[in-house]
Chain A
Amino acid sequence: MDQQPFYNLVLSDTDLPALAQLNWQPLSPKYKPLIVALELGWTALLTLVWLVLLYQPFWPVDEVHQPLLLFIGLLISGLGLLLATWDHFALPTYAYALREHDLSFQRGLFFRKSTTQPLLRIQHIELKQGPLDRWANLATLQVFSAGGAMHTFQIPGLPADTAQQIRQLILQHKDMQQHG
């Protein structure tokens, strides 16, 4: 192999824009109550279902299956409560950050993850609003890159107009890169 001039990476930490200095923005304040309430609602509904099944007088559950049903019911309700509690503490850690050239999203209570998506590599964008989102005026921003479906980048719980603004910004950025 020919000897090539060797360039080693010499960079002082201050030279590059650092991810460590991102300006994290919280999600919409409505997002956490909505999700937690939703989870609690589902848990309550499922609890009601198994309670009714267990104690309704029409088709009495036989003695063999009664403890089993009780156990499964308690398990479901317990898990539902656990999930709601977890999200109560975990959702406030969700945050996003927007820079000129990339979009970042951070989450996690015990395992903290932050994902950064360069705007230049975005292939297309989707705004998603379920019925509850619409009612609360929230939106989920989904961003697809060539990294494949496994690595779809998404930010839930954005105020709808903020999501719209970010979307515009990304589209403008792409436009600039291609024609500017």
Chain B
Amino acid sequence: MAEPHTSVSEATPALDSLSQWQRVSPIALLYLALRLFKAIFGNVSYLAPVLIVFYQGIQRQPRAFLLGVLVLLLLLVVVALLRYWAFRFRIIDETVEIRSGVLRKAQLNLPFNRIQNVRLQQPLYYRPTGHLCVHLDTAGSKVQEAQLAALPEHLAQQLQHAIYAKRQALASAGQPLESIDDIATRTEPAVAATEPTETLLCRRDIGDLVLYGISNNRVILALGLLAPFYRPLVDMLNEKLPVLGLDISGWFNPAQQSWFGVGLAVLATAMFFMLLITLGSIALSVISYYQFRLYRTQDRYIRRSGLFTRHEISMTLSRLQWVKLQQDWLDKLLGRCNLHYEQMFSPLEAMQQNAGHSKIMVPALHPDAAAQLLYEAYPQQQLAKMALKGVNWRYLIPSALFVSLPLLVISLLLIRTSVWIGSFGMLLSAVVQILLWLRWRKFGYALDTEFLYIRQGVIGADYYCVPLHKLQQLTLSQHWFMRRAQLQHLRCVYAAGALNIPYMPQADAQKLADYALYQAQASGKGWM
């Protein structure tokens, strides 16, 4: 293994300047301080009670509070300074070595071949000086392994290229590091330490992002997080609004207004909030996906985007588990869909904040463009041409029997005592059943030599295009009634999650299961 990759450091002489122990650029101080700040104040929800106490404190003694804030900020800066001072690194012998820790010293040695992924991030304040923050992700450990908080742009990129080149060289040398399936042509991998060629696959402009913002109201989540502040907000509004000459509560008071007026006020308020939420959602979409570009190199997808902080995230082709085309009902109205390149999913990581940064999603695509991207990822797939098969109508029985029917019976009993509750229950029961009926109608699956296709959704639809050979595990199940009707549930477990096809004809389910297993076992292709 000596010959191909000793050339890496020679090919990137600039990295030699990093072979001595050194600190990252001083601008990292700002980054470290802000990160500390975020770590403390990022989780507003659990700090809310403290803040409310504080709020009362401010009103009583504003000066003491100011002093407190100053001390806190000073403390923050000092800690950041110490951390910055303690953090030293060097890159030598194709290894990133890091020494860090103020009180608890730690040394980390990361050989290039253990680094799976290099994420680059450029916060707004790094842009004038041209620095990048480099995150080194390794396999195995869930904790974020290492980051070099600020490197000059060219060094960061060269480091990234050197690491990727090393991995490619290992892969092509037949090391069992990662399987090399899916990588179509591989001509001269060992000398690729120079800039790899990138092809631009897709770009998204502001217009697309606005559409994405409209159809994906993520602000509702933010509103949920702000819940602890509703009470003080309402109190404040109640105090302040009369000063402005607005009598809001009067609008909603039936004693002062006609029912029509009240209805109008409710409608207007609802519309106003919807508008606010949508605007917020659009803003979020633009902030995180501004100048969205999707590139492809020989063995990777690379996503770059961001208005304030620019992110670069990449993913090796072989890690791709499946492609999902997602079209919710609003997307459908707008004639767009989102394309997800899904890789290994772990619930633990999903809970962490940087979850979104490990995924590659292309927002608000025209269906044509989405089909093209899908074709690029999987040239063999036939999604557009496949006739999808539906699942058996018995899919509807459990929900009808255990949800809708009991609900209906209870409503019928209640309608004597309260017409409102009774009819509401009946309506609910009908809505539940109609939604499930729509879901049943939408459900579809198909199979060809290499792929499993699944469609599911209620009004919108998600299409999964899944290479069969990446299967991890498979479960067939049926209960007694299904056995009589010759039906089976099939669950296929992949590294990106589990896919279920309920109420399939037994013969189909078994055929699919046998074939999927055969693909996983006999194709000789790896899953990552």
Contacts and interface: CB of A to CB of B under 8 A. Distances in A.
Given A4-B382, A11-B515, A145-B493, A19 B345 contact: no
Contacts of A151: 472-473, 493, 498
Contacts of B458: none
Interface of A: 1-2, 4, 6-9, 11, 13, 16-20, 101-102, 108, 110-121, 145-151, 153, 178-179
B513 interface: yes
13 contacts: A1-B371, A8-B448, A9-B449, A16-B515, A19-B476, A112-B477, A113-B475, A118-B471, A118-B520, A121-B473, A147-B493, A150-B498, A151-B473
Contacts of A18: 510, 514
Interface on chain B toward A: helix, strand, loop, or mixed SS? mixed
A146 B527 CA distance: 9
A112 to B, nearest CB: 6
Given A101-B521, A116-B473, A118-B520, A19 B385 contact: no
Given A8-B448, A120-B521, A121-B472, 15 more contacts: A1-B384, A6-B382, A7-B449, A17-B517, A20-B510, A101-B522, A102-B521, A111-B479, A114-B477, A115-B474, A117-B473, A118-B473, A145-B493, A147-B494, A151-B473
Contacts of A101: 517, 521-522
Nearest to A143: B473
Interface string B294-309: 0000000000000000
Contact of A1 (B375, B380, B510): B375
Contacts of A116: 473-476, 513, 517
A16 B514 contact: yes
B498 A121 contact: no
A96 to B, nearest CB: 14
B382 A147 contact: no
B325 to A, nearest CB: 14
Contacts of B382: 4, 6
Contacts of B522: 101
Contacts of A9: 447-449, 515
B344 interface: yes
Closest 6 CB pairs of A and B: A147-B493, A147-B472, A113-B477, A146-B495, A101-B521, A115-B475
B348 to A, nearest CB: 9
B156 to A, nearest CB: 30
